[in-house]
Structure 1
Amino acid sequence: MRKIILPAICLVLLYACSKSGSTLSKAELLTAKPWKIVADSILPGRYLNGQLITDMYSTYKACERDNYYVFSKDGTLEANNGTLKCAPADYQSLKLTWFLQSGETKLSISPDQVFITGLGSLCDIIELNAQEMVLRWYDKDNTGTVTRVHTLTLRH
């Protein structure tokens, strides 16, 4: 009897675990835990100190690498400067708003604080799972032509 019950229990638990991971909405994944930027790239690149840089994360200072982002279920977003601030006068946290749009394929953040937070104001969600989020947004010139593509990877 034990030989039958134990495998049956294992199968039920395996099925339950596999189902529970796939039922979280994108909003639930976003709000589960704080996020930190772990990669930041830009194409075709930006000139810094006379050098074309595509890996923007390599230019982050320690005071920028400890910043984190908390998405709350009420639609607020806290952009926090973490333990290390680059300058004493820098904000500790900035309150923004967020929402999903276009069938949960886009993340909208307002007001636009891309130069302060590092997050674009309207991002395509390339990947979003329990461990990682990959966002992409585009700089456009006055004619609407894409001039740069930003890709940002965040993890818990």
Structure 2
Amino acid sequence: MKIRPFQPADEDTVIGLWQACGLTRPWNDPHRDIQRKLGEQPELFLVAVEGETLIGTAMVGFDGHRGWVYYLAVSPQHRRLSLGRALMQEAERLLTERGCPKINLLVRSSNTEVLAFYDKLGYTRDDVVSLGRRLIHDH
């Protein structure tokens, strides 16, 4: 397995992977999410490939204060092979290189399998409430 930056030719496969992993939502256009990421730190949009097959993604960002990871996804057929761990290790390495002191990510509270995955990686739950307000409506 190799981890490399996203390439435009990956777009349809990436979106198919996100859909297979249940990461897409009707209010977020994944094509627009990708285009937005390509405008900001595109080198931090990671894909995992095995040969020519795209099997994982991680959309990483650093705002100068905190690092963030979105769209961590591993193909259902390739799970339990430490690919998610490898993507997170690469995200942490790239953020550390940039001087990032802390990484944050959001997980739906009902997603117990993913919460257990991050627990195993040493992530802890912060005592915070995530708030949001949509500024641009995709749909």
**Length-normalised TM-score, structure 1:** 0.26
The structure with the greater share of residues assigned to strand is 1
- Larger % of helix: which? 2
Provide the TM-score with structure 2 as the length reference.
Answer: 0.29
Structure whose alpha-carbon radius of gyration is higher: 1
Flag the structure with more relative contact order, 1 or 2, with Cα contacts below 8 A and sequence separation at least 6: 2
